[in-house]
């Protein structure tokens, strides 16, 4: 979680999310269209750009609406997400915490970590399937994403453990 992102207005977050979706989708469709047997995507670059723009707008808005709901449901507010994210990144707890709430937030982080093997397997399988067609640019992209998620999962697991240890130490010191 990037703390600067949650400080932005919902419209700005939707625009940024939409731009990322647009760029990713346009890039993937361009890579897929490079293949000679690409009947899946329109032959026009403009048509692919329009399609990517539509998906970017839709998923930007959906992402912000659902993301804000989840933030309010799980964390209570964007400020609490920012505080938790900073503590997760640095390992430094704020002075006043509610250990039960922070344990729930750690549980949410652990649950998201459970998706890492599925994500890595999906990207690796897609890379393998695309290697059969010889689409090496797409294979490199998918293999890079698989490696990224492996590294991210390992870092997140270490950070969760470090923060859980700090919360336990704080609880023991308070009692």
Residues 91, 116: Cα–Cα separation, whole Å: 22
Q: What is the predicted pLDDT for the residue at 41?
A: 61
Residue pair 75/102 in contact (Cβ under 8 Å)? The answer is: no
Q: What is the predicted pLDDT for the residue at 29?
A: 82
Residue 64: partners with Cβ closer than 8 Å, 6 or more residues away: 10, 13, 14, 17
Q: What is the predicted pLDDT for the residue at 153?
A: 95
For the question of whether the overall pTM of this predicted structure is more than 0.85, the answer is: no
Q: What is the predicted pLDDT for the residue at 43?
A: 72
Residues 43, 89: Cα–Cα separation, whole Å: 44
Q: What is the predicted pLDDT for the residue at 133?
A: 85
Residues 139, 133: Cα–Cα separation, whole Å: 10
Residue 4: partners with Cβ closer than 8 Å, 6 or more residues away: none
Residue pair 149/119 in contact (Cβ under 8 Å)? The answer is: yes
Per-residue pLDDT of the chain (175 residues; tens, 9 = 90+): 577 888 899 999 999 999 999 999 998 888 777 765 556 666 788 888 898 999 999 999 999 999 999 999 999 998 999 999 999 998 889 988 898 899 999 999 999 999 999 999 999 999 999 899 888 888 999 999 999 999 999 999 999 999 999 999 988 888 7
- To which residue do tokens 């920012």 refer? 82
Neighbouring C-beta atoms of residue 25, cutoff 10 Å? 19
Q: What is the predicted pLDDT for the residue at 33?
A: 74
């Amino acid at each position: 979680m990037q703390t600067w992102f949650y400080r932005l207005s919902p419209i700005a977050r939707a625009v940024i999310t939409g731009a990322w979706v647009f760029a990713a989708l346009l890039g993937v469709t361009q890579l897929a269209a490079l293949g000679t047997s690409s009947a899946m995507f329109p032959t026009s670059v403009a048509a692919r750009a329009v399609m990517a723009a539509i998906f970017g707008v839709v998923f930007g808005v959906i992402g912000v609406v659902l993301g804000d709901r989840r933030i309010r449901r799980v964390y209570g507010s964007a400020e609490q997400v920012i505080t938790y994210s900073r503590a997760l990144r640095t390992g430094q707890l704020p002075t006043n915490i509610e250990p039960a709430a922070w344990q729930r937030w750690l549980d949410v982080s652990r649950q998201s970590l459970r998706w890492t093997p599925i994500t890595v397997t999906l990207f690796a399988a897609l890379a393998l399937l695309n290697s059969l067609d010889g689409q090496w640019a797409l294979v490199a992209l998918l293999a890079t994403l698989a490696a990224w998620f492996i590294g991210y999962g390992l870092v997140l697991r270490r950070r969760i453990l470090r923060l859980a240890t700090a919360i336990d130490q704080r609880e023991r010191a308070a009692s």
